[in-house]
Amino acid sequence: MRVDLVLQNWELFAGGVWVTAQLTFLSLFFGFCIALPCGLARARRVGWASPLINGYVYLFRGTPLLVQTYLIYYGLSQFEFIRDSWAWIFLREAWWCALIAFTLNSGAYATEIIRGAVETTPKGETEAATALGLAPRQVTWLVLIPSALRRALPQYGNEVVFMLHGSAVASVITIQDILGAGRTLNARYYVAYEGFITAALLYMAITFTLVMIFRQLEKRYLRHLNIRPAKKSHAIPA
Amino acid sequence: MKRITMAAAAAMTLAGAAQAADLKICVEGAYPPFSETSASGEVVGFDIDIANALCADMGKECEMVKTDWDGIIPALLEKKCDAIIASMSITDERKQVIDFSEKYYNTPARFVGKEGMTADDLAGKTVGVQRGTIHQDFMEGEFGDVELKLYGSQDEAYLDLVAGRVDALMADSIAILDGFLNTDNGAGFAFFGDSYSIPEYHGNGAGVGVRKEDTELRDAITASIKAIRDSGEYESINGKYFDFDIYGG
Amino acid sequence: MNMLILIDYIPLLLRGAVVTISLALLGLLLATVLGALGAAGKLSGGRIAGALVRLYTTIVRGVPDLVLILLIYFGGQRLVNTVGDLFGADYIELSKFGAGVLSIGFIYGAYLTETFRGAYMTIPRGQVEAAQSLGMGALATLWTVSIPQLVRFALPGYANVWQVLVKSTAVVSIIGLEDLVGLANDAGKTVREPFIFFSAVLVAYLFFTWVSQQIFNNLERRYALRGHDAG
């Protein structure tokens, strides 16, 4: 293991960490923005929207993120009408392609998480709110959503880690994320695994920081449930 | 420890059974016309023909191992193959890690971009190169003011040039000519700027890569390159792909 | 876009699909073995065994599958060579397919460790005690009482791991394995029709996940307690 090469190129990896962090957090954020309305609509079985959302969720959860990313990056760019349209401003950049793929992917998984949490919200909570005279909109925003999101925390923590790991796919479409930096190091010095080990250690450090943050959040927001938060660390989002 | 021995045992049962060939040769398969993958999944091209001719001359049975460019030197070092025939330029930097036969061809490097582009337009533009190649080193050394985009294979770089994700590519001129410009996708694109062949970056042509300790194999390959040059075999392979001798001066 | 071009490539893509499915099945087999060993190690209460299993699951949980696969393929060969030299063995090649199976098995073995351990803990203690009081030996108890229950309780988690595992096979194409994704990628780039090829791959994966879903639904019905709800 040639640690000197890694240290000499620390800037390469620092840049990689920044790109990975950006892609992960932005796609989680936008994915959540998709998932909240979709998850609610699914839980309430909104007539026209449910089948559409079902199709979206099924497509993105049933296929590999790598292929979704390839399809958006290489697949869409083959069409001239796309290259001539406004969308090309974004699709031209590998970074945007990755962000779009990751956002849609994360949105699909988060939709399922939110749907589950809303469906398992005890009827009593919303009934009590209604009985107190809250309007339906208030019940949704002040009672249902906060309660569901709290209970979705452990599963959403898994999704965050899942997305961080999934973001390594960005390196296959020319993006210099953490893994991209590792591959560049390997290619530059003709070494077999120094870059990969460094990447692995960086991903590990970020993963466990995130896991710790979520543990604190769960302690804080799930205390009222008076149960130990579900042991989440080994589960993978389905 | 149990886990490691388990993994080793599993590895043995899962190991490739391909021990029959005398010599395993790493080829790339995404670098037309030197090396590309046919519809049936076979690797074909100039590099492969040369490899077969060298093997025939040495009287060895060879097996082609398709390997991504990124992993091709590690694959040689870890004995996944015994030689690299993948249009790899002989450079001092690589010589610190592996050894080379004498060159089997030498062609200059050039830029390719939209017709009408010139080298003066390059500042601030995005140029694509294959990761871990002489072209990456050259661009980093001589064109610091352009943004580099690194690709795993030359084929991917062509796709993005056509799509307009990069403004130009820097690569081997013959690879560009026959792998891109002379195909349907090359319409509207052209070479621009000088032909570059700077020993500091570009080395002394493409050679066959071998492990440092395999000096015997290296010398045998060098002798075979000379033999196929003399016998006319090289010329006939050359003629299949190019209309001039790419062996170079 | 030319849909017809796909027809020429159907044999190639089918060959890739066979590689993908074999990779997934062998990976699951290895993962099941590792998961059972891991769960046994954790449940045994031994300190060293417990620490080893913890190290194992920590690595897998912390590192993306893509990175682990690259590491196992390139770094694994170094390990195999070093171990091989130590024992004076001839060169043993870690093939791409082998590295893929090892990686997938290694990764999902960690998740199954938790699935199996969780399922084992769900088996009511009373049942084992009842079996023993009836004079059944440890092995007979394990085989006729614990294992059938374990299967029942572990099935939903096992199905979940399998669905994620299947999708994970796609990233093995990164080391140049000629699986469905790898071949479609090469072919799509060669004929400059990546859209149609990657769409075909998406459809194939949807089909795999759908078929697996049906199979697992059936199994869960079969292993459900008669007259009760499933696990």
Instruction: Identify which of B11, B40, B67 has the shortest CB distance to residue C94.
Output: B11
Nearest CA in chain C to A75: C195
Partners of C66 on chain A (C-beta within 8 Å) are: 66, 165, 168-169, 171, 179
Please report residues of B whose CB lies closer than 8 A to that of A187. 70, 131-132, 150
User: Does the beta-carbon distance from C66 to A200 stay under 8 Å?
Assistant: no
| DSSP 3-state of C164 | helix
Closest Cα in chain A, distance from residue B74 (Å): 5
Q: For residue B84, report the phi and psi dihedrals to the nearest 5 degrees.
A: -110, 120
Distance CA A186, CA B71 (A): 8
Name all domains of chain C by residue range, CATH numbers in brackets. 5-223 (1.10.3720.10)
Give C108-128 pLDDT, tens digit per residue. Answer: 999 999 999 999 888 888 888
pLDDT at site A235: 55
For chain C, list the contacting chains (3+ Cβ pairs, <8 Å). Answer: A, B
User: Mind listing the pLDDT tens digit for each residue in A39-58?
Assistant: 999 998 888 888 999 999 99
Rounded Cα–Cα distance for residues C119 and C152 (Å) = 8
- What CA–CA distance (Å, rounded) separates C89 from C82? 10
| Cβ atoms B196, B109 nearer than 8 A | yes
Residues C215-219: what's their mean pLDDT? 92
Mutate to test the interface with C, among B14, B80, B162 (most CBs of C within 10 A): B14
Quickly name the fold that domain A28-177+206-225 has: MetI-like fold (1.10.3720)
Neighbours of A104 (CB within 10 A): 19
Residue environment code for C90-120, b if the CB has 16+ CB neighbours within 10 A, otherwise e:
eebbbbbbbbbbbbbbbbbbbbbbbbbbbbb
- What CA–CA distance (Å, rounded) separates A201 from A182? 11
**Of C45 and C65, more confident:** C65
- Please give the structure tokens belonging to residue A201: 């250690």
Question: pLDDT-derived band of residue C1, with 50, 70 and 90 as boundaries?
Answer: low
**Angstrom distance (rounded) from CA A17 to CA A11:** 10
CB A31 within 8 A of CB A107: yes
- Does the pLDDT value for residue C84 go beyond 90? no
C 84-113 residues with CB < 8 A to B? 91-95, 97-98, 101-102, 105-106
Kindly report the backbone phi and psi dihedral angles of residue A95, in degrees, each rounded to the nearest multiple of 5, phi listed first: -60, -45
The residue of chain A nearest to residue C117, with distances taken between CA atoms, is A234
Is the Cβ pair C76, B159 closer than 8 Å? no
Sheet with B109-114: strands ordered across: B147-151, B126-130, B168-172, B109-114, B189-196
Please enumerate residues of B whose Cβ is less than 8 A from a Cβ of A.
70-71, 73-74, 77-78, 94, 97-98, 131-132, 136, 149-152, 156, 159-160, 163-165
Nearest to B185 among C9, C83, C192 (CB): C192
**pLDDT digit string (tens) for A90-145?**
999 999 999 999 999 999 999 999 999 999 998 899 899 999 999 999 999 999 99
Residue C143 pLDDT:
84
3-state SS class at B106: coil
Q: Is the Cα torsion angle B224, B225, B226, B227 positive or negative in sign?
A: positive
- Residues of chain B within CATH 3.40.190.10 domain(s) are 14-106+204-241, 109-202
| Residue at token pair 């830029």 | B111
Give contacts of A183 with chain B, Cβ < 8 Å.
Answer: 70, 131
Residue scoring higher pLDDT (B155 or B126): B126
Hey, which residues 144-173 in chain C have their CB within 8 Å of chain B? none
Q: Is the pLDDT of residue B249 over 90?
A: no
pLDDT score for B70 = 85
Tell me if C95 and B71 make a contact (CB, 8 A cut-off): no
Q: Which residue has the higher pLDDT, B206 or A80?
A: B206
Give the mean pLDDT of B40-49. Answer: 90
Closest CB to B163 among A83, A188, A193: A83
Whether residue B19 has pLDDT greater than 60: no
- Partners of residue B62 on adjacent β-strands: B23
Total number of residues shown for chain B: 249
Fold classification of B14-106+204-241 is D-Maltodextrin-Binding Protein; domain 2 (3.40.190)
What pLDDT is stored for residue C226 in this prediction?
A: 57
Tell me the average pLDDT across C75-81: 84
| Cβ within 8 Å of residue C15, ≥6 positions away | B41, C178, C183
Least confident of A17-21, C23-27, C83-87, C98-102: C83-87
Q: Would strands B126-130 and B147-151 be described as parallel, antiparallel, or unpaired?
A: parallel
CA distance linking residue B131 with residue B68, whole number of Å: 11
Q: What is the ipTM of this complex?
A: 0.89
Contact call for C111 and A197, based on CB within 8 A: no
pLDDT confidence band for A224 (50 / 70 / 90): confident
**Nearest Cα to A55, choosing from A71, A42, A69, A40?**
A42
Residue B15 pLDDT exceeds 70: no
User: Would you state the pLDDT for residue A222?
Assistant: 85
Contact B8 C83 (CB under 8 A): yes
Interface test with chain C among B2, B26, B44, B78, by most C beta carbons within 10 Å: B78
Span B65-96, pLDDT tens digits: 988 898 899 899 988 899 999 999 999 989 99
Could you report the per-residue pLDDT of A138-164, keeping only the tens digit for each?
999 999 999 999 999 999 999 999 999
Whole-number pLDDT of residue C44: 86
Torsion on CA atoms B83, B85, B86, B89, rounded to nearest 10: 90
- Beta bridge pairs of residue B150: B129
Mean per-residue pLDDT over chain B, rounded: 89
Report whether pLDDT(B204) > 50.
yes
Tokens of B41: 């999944």
Rg of chain B taking only CA atoms, in angstroms: 19
The amino acid sitting at B200 is E
Cβ distance B169 to B158 under 8 Å?
yes
B73:A190 CB<8 A:
yes
Among A28-42, A119-133, B9-23, C213-227, the least confident range: B9-23
The pLDDT value given to residue A193: 86
Q: Domain ranges in chain A?
A: 28-177+206-225
Q: What CATH superfamily classification does B109-202 receive?
A: Periplasmic binding protein-like II (3.40.190.10)
Cβ of A236 under 8 Å from any chain C Cβ? yes
